Amino acid sequence: MRVDLFDFDLPPERIALRPVRPRDSARMLVVQGQGPFRDCVVRDLPGLLAPGDVLVFNDTRVIPAQLEGRRGEARIGATLHKRMDLRRWQAFIRNAKRLKPCDRVEFGADVTAIAEQRHEDGSFTLMFEGDEPVEVLLERAGRMPLPPYIASKRELDDDDKADYQTVFARKDGAVAAPTGSLHFTPELLEALDKAGVIRKTLTLHVGAGTFLPVKADDTTEHAMHAEWGRIDAETAAALNAARAAGGRIIAAGTTALRLLESAADEAGVIHPFEGDTAIFITPGYKFRAVDGLMTNFHLPKSTLFMLVSALMGLETMQTAYAHAIASEYRFYSYGDSSLLLP
């Protein structure tokens, strides 16, 4: 499909630079089948789901994946993208023309890395030197990787260290938050439990590729960056059992949805999964694992807007986004939510 079909005009003032407080007071647009849109708030969610439905969350934790350093006199910026082994990360590089294989980059705080290999997309493999775990080095020298549409408008501050993590964050490895889950609070989770909604978690370490624009003119020409994920056997069995009992599988965020779909077979059975996924979902895709999605509002011409258009239909999502813009919903990572039920 033509990428320009997924374009729309978004006024800059609709981009949220801070989350609302409390998190579950964010607005939520409910799009269900061909019915009328409903303007709700996130804390209405228990009444919008049925007992036996399953919400699936991503328990990845965002690491301080942005680094500023020098190679000699040249300033080098690095955004870690994907872990390759205990000491190596693939990273997108700012000022990459000043970096070549075997160069050492000094990131300050006694943190250095060797640029081992340049990849076809311009990224590099960085091998962090020393004996300390890379996580320790990043805590010392790195910064939280706020999305570019926020970082370009204001400085990172201490609030972001908490605001850009979900209440489910447990497993270090993401360089972007699974923002569909940012709205959840302990109070909302308690209300969901009382309503009989089941909660399960998986892990997908979100990469910085989630923010990259689609530069191709046609969706068939775009290559997704791979991300590592895991669904354990117990979780897979529980999801299959819930669905067999008539419950719906609702992904809390596109990252959870992409991993669930990667783990499902043609019959819709979810299998244990551990490894990379580069699944790219566009209109025409047949969904196998999920019955709905809770997600924020996404960028024009982004792979995520293509995903929600695949789930609900392009025309439906174009109309829904037009309604959200006219109704002054807040967009992107710190913005409002939507509940999509095809």
**Span 130-184, pLDDT tens digits:** 999 999 999 999 999 998 889 999 999 999 999 999 999 999 999 999 999 999 9
Q: What's the CA gap between 306 and 321, in Å, rounded? A: 13
Count CB atoms within 10 A of the CB of residue 97. 8
User: For the whole model, what pTM was predicted?
Assistant: 0.93
Count CB atoms within 10 A of the CB of residue 337. 28
Q: What's the CA gap between 288 and 285, in Å, rounded? A: 9
Q: What's the CA gap between 342 and 338, in Å, rounded? A: 13
Strands (DSSP E) contained in the chain are 27-32, 38-41, 54-58, 60-62, 66-71, 74-83, 88-94, 104-106, 112-118, 124-128, 171-174, 198-204, 227-231, 249-252, 273-277, 292-296, 337-341
Overall average pLDDT of the 293-322 stretch: 97
Count CB atoms within 10 A of the CB of residue 107. 22
Q: Convert the pLDDT of each residue in 197-215 to its tens digit.
A: 999 999 999 987 776 778 8
Q: In the structure, what pLDDT confidence band is assigned to residue 328 with cuts at 50, 70 and 90?
A: very high
Closest CA to 252 of 62, 81, 49: 49
Q: What's the CA gap between 191 and 130, in Å, rounded? A: 47
Q: What's the CA gap between 145 and 100, in Å, rounded? A: 24
pLDDT for 121: 85
- Residues of the chain with pLDDT > 70: what percent? 100
List the beta bridge partners of residue 58. Answer: 202
Overall average pLDDT of the 66-74 stretch: 96
Same fold flag, 3-62+162-341 and 66-143: no
According to CATH, the topology of domain 66-143 is Thrombin, subunit H (2.40.10)
pLDDT for 148: 86
Q: How many Å from the N-terminal Cα to the C-terminal Cα in the chain?
A: 21
Architecture of domain 3-62+162-341: 3-Layer(aba) Sandwich (3.40)
Where are the chain's structural domains? 3-62+162-341, 66-143
Phi (first) and psi of residue 170, to 5 degrees: -130, -35
- Residues of the chain with pLDDT > 90: what percent? 92
Instruction: Name which of 38-52, 106-120, 198-212 the model is least confident about.
Output: 198-212
pLDDT for 215: 87
Inter-residue contact 56 to 273 (CB < 8 Å): no
pLDDT for 53: 98
